[in-house]
Structure 1
Amino acid sequence: MNVLIFGATGMVGQSVLRECLLDPQVNHVLSIGRSATGQSQAKFREHVLKDITDLAPLTDELSRIDACFFCLGVSSVGMSEEKYHAITYELTMNIANTLANIQPKMTFVYVTGASTDSTEQGSSMWARVKGKTENALLKLPFKSAFMFRPGAILPKNGVKSKTKLYQTFIVILSPIFPLLQKWFPNTVIDSEQIGRAMISVARNGYPKSIMEITDIRNASGR
């Protein structure tokens, strides 16, 4: 399986990249992003682009991709709806439409969030925009598409958040990570499970297109 990752330097992206590099059934991993991952392995290749929507020069390489793991995302805190919509919906759909035209046989996995609003009518701005993005992605002519809705994510294996405040909480809470997962199984999931689940649904599919925490955990096998 040949895999494409967007957002491989973020917390979820780092985890997905790690699991892909460790999985012997993943033959090739391609990363596209605005910053380098620092990884160097035989089956890994990355393109650092100022404009990550300009994929035309990579058409031949992208035509051989079996699955795209889209892990780009920003917090909506302090952001206007217009700006959040541009980053979350417009950027995602620009890339997804291009990929669907180049290689419709791929599986597209999008990291969204718990409480995303599929009706697009709720009071929460971020949830409406995420819901609109999910709905639009599910209409594209990919082989299959899965919307991952994790809640609180506990990083494992040295994965770090790029958000300083979140990383501070991670450091403080890390000693009780196992207890948090036990106490809040429907709210908390770890980064390794997300990575394994993405590979699993790309390889084997899953009965649901919209995957909540329990679905992600089930798909991960862990």
Structure 2
Amino acid sequence: MKVILFGATGMVGQGVLRECLLDSNVESVLAIVRGPTGQQHAKLRELVHKNFLDFSAVEGELSGYDACLFCLGVSSAGMTEADYHHVTYDFTLAAAQPLARLNPGMTFIYVSGAGTDSTEKGRSMWARVKGKTENALLKLPFKASYMFRPGFIQPQHGITSKTKLYRAIYAVMGPLYPVLKALAPKYVTTTESVGRAMLKVARQGAAKQVLENWDINSIASEGASPAAR
């Protein structure tokens, strides 16, 4: 399986990239980034591209892929709706539209979030914008599209968030993760589980297009190897 990955330098994207590089079913990964990840691997190739609103200059690099794992995103904290829409909706569709045209057999998986508003009419700004983005992606002519809605994501294997606020939150919540998992297992997950589930869905599909946190954990745990990862 040949994979395109967006958001490889973010917390979720780092976890997904790790799982891609560990997975023997993944032949190659093209990470489309605005700055280098700093990683080197035989399966990894990076395409540094600054303008995430226009991919026409690099379209020749974007065909022949089986899956796109779209993990690019920002926190809505302190952002206006217009600015958040620009990064969340405009960037995503600017990438997805040419990919759908160039790779009709592609599976597109988008990392959204628990509480996303599919009606696009709720009071929560971020949830409306995420819902609008999901709805637009589901209309594109991919082979298949899946929306992942994780809840609280615990970073693993030394992965950290680039967002200062999130780093502070994880510093406090990290030690409490076993308690959260015990009390609310349906609403917490890990970077490893998200990555494993995305790859499994990219290969095998899923029974529904919108996958909530508990779906992600269930898929990730199916047939999990007991070997240390």
Residue 36 of structure 1: aligned partner: 36
Residue 91 of structure 1: aligned partner: 91
Residue 210 of structure 2: aligned partner: 210
Q: For each residue in 1:143-200, what CA deviation from the matched residue of structure 2 results, as whole angstroms up to 9, or x when unmatched?
A: 0000000111100111101111211222233233222212111221111000000000
Contact 2:55 2:94 in 1 (8 A): no
Mapped partners of 2:18, 2:153: distance in 1: 16
Compute the RMSD of aligned alpha carbons: 1.2
Q: For each residue in 1:52-99, what CA deviation from the matched residue of structure 2 results, as whole angstroms up to 9, or x when unmatched?
A: 344334334321111001011111111111111111111111111011
Contact 2:114 2:150 in 1 (8 A): yes
1:12 is displaced (CA, Å) by 0.3
Mapped partners of 2:205, 2:80: distance in 1: 36
Residue 227 of structure 2: aligned partner: none
Q: Does 1:72 align with 2:72?
A: yes
Structure 2, gaps ≥5 residues long = 225-229
Residue 6 of structure 1: aligned partner: 6
Mapped partners of 1:137, 1:172: distance in 2: 35
Contact 1:21 1:43 in 2 (8 A): yes
Contact 1:111 1:148 in 2 (8 A): yes
Kindly provide the amino acid, as one letter, of the partner of residue 75 in structure 2. S
Structure 1, gaps ≥5 residues long = none
Residue 196 of structure 1: aligned partner: 196
- SS of residue in 2 equivalent to 1:186: helix
Kindly provide the amino acid, as one letter, of the partner of residue 97 in structure 2. N
TM-score w.r.t. structure 1 length?
0.96
Mapped partners of 1:114, 1:105: distance in 2: 28
1:25-174 equivalent positions in 2, closer than 5 A: 25-174=25-174
How many residues are paired up?
222
Mapped partners of 2:69, 2:3: distance in 1: 7
Q: Does 1:15 align with 2:15?
A: yes
TM-score w.r.t. structure 2 length?
0.93
Mapped partners of 2:106, 2:45: distance in 1: 18
